[in-house]
Structure 1
């Protein structure tokens, strides 16, 4: 194991053996960061073995599996967090050290501590080729739009701020209103973090967008509308979902016409975020009303496809359909291969850091639910998997808020708000 010191508290290395990990603590390191996806080659110990070796020797450990050609903003954020949380010196490894130094250099540039023009020379100083880092930064400078994801660990949801760098106009997509089902408490911590980012970046909110009525978290759309004055929007088929759930909730006074939002988007509709055109794709299957927002070179696909190592979204909610979901996925995969895809949940398989950005090409190549899979195989796989899944713990809480545009129930005579949900209506779900 060859260690290359970069600063007095950060080094990079190639693949360590298990015996090397056991010596790192004695060598003065506090944290090991593993950047290698499992299975890159047959000689690597793998995440489980490295994690156990780190625990055995008292090292902190982070698993951030990345490939050099697919580094995303989420990977950089996770790498920054791992370094910030370390109580002492850190060694980050990949196969040879280049990915580790690439993530370090990108963090330095994005945090303003290194000019982008110095990245190549910085790598050469330490004996590494950082041309991929320079290319990543050049592509980021040209990308339209800029996308910032906000991961909510309570619900594994990702909220987005997508902005036009030219006009500083932005849209907020799928914001979360915090809710604790154990105490019944609500909070605006997640939404306020979005507002703080918008203020720091000098952005103006043009839209507050929902991709569909969520079953696992409350929408913060109404809170953010009150704070920003921006219009809210969702797909026009929300009326179908409202009609379905209006009966489930025995809620005759609910207006099942989508009037709870300022705009209802029909499939193919176009709108602007500053100077960037956005268009709407109808993407049902997970719900009756799911849509995809294609904004510049980015598509916000929420509960259709997850990251390639996580497959696809479930299709067994009321109104869901696996065959319809497959066709929606095919529409998304017909976008250009370079289209950036931003998913709505990440459940961190194998304990890796959260990720939420992929590409059409990456999904087609490596997602087992679509690569080398036809419609019949997908439907069989999806339906079999869905039969094993319990319902989301907040589905009956969240839908009555979210089909009303994120509005909490009105206070009753005593000033308190009350949720109402039916018993024994979602029959057949796993417990």
Structure 2
């Protein structure tokens, strides 16, 4: 067993046997990080076996699976979180230990604790090739736009700040307003974290963008507009969603013209974030109004595509259509292979750390609902899967806020706000 000590907090190693875990615990390690994807080799123990063995050895277990070609900043930050949350020294492994160390040094450089020009010497010191980290960091710093993701654990949602490093202008995409359905409480914790990031990086918000009216969280678009003065926008087909839900909520006076946003985008519309060109693609299927924002080399696909190990989103909401979803996905996959794709949710299959960035080439090759699929096979899979899914627990709460651009209901005479909750309005009961 070869263990390479990097510092007092971190050591890395090749793939261990699960029988080694008690030994690792006796050596003083508190946390084991597995940076190896499931099924990479037949000989590896596998995530479930590793996690069970770690628990028996009283080790905290974290799963941050990466390949050298697909490492993203989300992976780097997940590795950092696992280290930060450890109560003692950390042992991290992949097949050889290299990827685990790459994740560490990338974070050190991103946070200014290590210089890029020192990486080669650092690698020589530990007999590990750092060229992949050097290449990744060069690409990362050269990218336009800069994309920062914010993961909300309660709703598995990812919110984004997309910025132009040349001008400091930015857009916020799909921000979350906090809601506790049991207490009926609202808060702006997620949105305020975003505002803190914007202040710290001296950014100016030009746009607050919704990809569609969300069924699983409240939108913070209106709150952020009040705080920043930025324009709000969504796809023009939101009016069809408004008409649909106006009937469900029995709102005779509700205006279904999209006037709750400052801008309604049509398919093919273009705009700018600072000096970066942006374009709108109509992507219906998950909802009637879903759109993709193509900003520089980054496509914000929200619920059309998840990460490759999660597949695609459901298409059985009111107004959803699986065939339309397939065709929207084909439009997205017609973009250049190197186009980065950013999803709106991540449900962490196999308990891995949250991830939200992929690219078109990886989606075509590895997405479990797309690779090797025909349209008819996809429809069969999507319909069968959707029948097993209950309605999102917040759909009836959230839509009455989100079809109004993120505005909460107006206070009534007693100063309190009230949600309207129609009974027997949707299928998908759990019994």
Displacement of 1:430: 4.4
Residue number in structure 2 paired with 1:326: 326
Kept in 2, the 8 Å contact 1:389–1:429? The answer is no
Q: In structure 2, what is the equivalent of residue 230 of structure 1?
A: 230
Q: 1:42 Cα deviation (Å)?
A: 1.0
CA contact (8 A) 2:36 2:64 kept: yes
| Structure 1, gaps ≥5 residues long | none
Q: Deviations over 1:265-285 (max 9, x none)?
A: 000000000000100000000
Q: Does 1:404 align with 2:420?
A: no
Mean alpha-carbon deviation: is it higher for 189-198 or for 42-51? Answer: 42-51
Q: Does 1:49 align with 2:49?
A: yes
Partner residue in 2 for 1:351: 351
* Alpha-carbon distance between aligned partners in 2 of 1:101 and 1:25, rounded to the nearest angstrom: 20
Give unmatched runs, 5+ long, in structure 2. none
Structure-2 residue corresponding to 1:366: 366
1:302-321 CA deviation, whole Å, 9 max, x = no partner?
01010000000000000000
Distance 1:428 1:298 in 2: 35
* Cα displacement (A) at 1:427: 2.2
CA distance in structure 2 between the partners assigned to 1:178 and 1:201 by the alignment: 24
Number of positions where the alignment pairs a residue of Structure 1 with one of Structure 2 = 431
Q: Is structure 2 residue 129 aligned with structure 1 residue 156? A: no
Are 1:24 and 2:24 an aligned pair?
A: yes
Deviations 1:321-359 (A, max 9, x none): 000000000000000000000000000011110000001
* TM-score normalised according to structure 2 size: 0.99
Secondary structure of the 1:253 match is: coil
Aligned ranges 1:106-125 → 2 under 5 Å: 106-125=106-125
Residues 84-114 of structure 1 deviation map (CA, whole Å, 9 limit, x = unaligned):
0011100100000110110111011011010
Q: How does 1:183-198 map to 2 (within 5 A)?
A: 183-198=183-198
Q: In the TM superposition, what is the alpha-carbon distance from 1:429 to its structure 2 partner?
A: 4.7
Query: 1:340 and 2:364 equivalent?
Result: no
Aligned equivalents of 2:423, 2:233: Cα separation in 1: 31
What RMSD in Å do the two structures reach over aligned CA positions?
Answer: 0.7
Residue 263 in structure 1 maps to residue 269 in structure 2: no
Runs of 4+ in 1 over 6 A off after TM superposition: none
Alpha carbons of 1:30 and 1:235: their partners in 2 closer, same or farther (altered >3 Å)?
same
CA distance in 2: counterparts of 1:209 and 1:9, whole angstroms: 41
Provide the residue aligned with 2:288 in structure 1.
Answer: 288
Q: For 2:26, what is the secondary structure of its paired residue?
A: coil
Contact map agreement 2:389 2:428 (CA 8 A) in 1: no
Q: Counterparts of 1:209-220 in structure 2 under 5 Å?
A: 209-220=209-220
Please give the alpha-carbon distance, in whole angstroms, between the structure 2 residues aligned to 1:354 and 1:307: 10
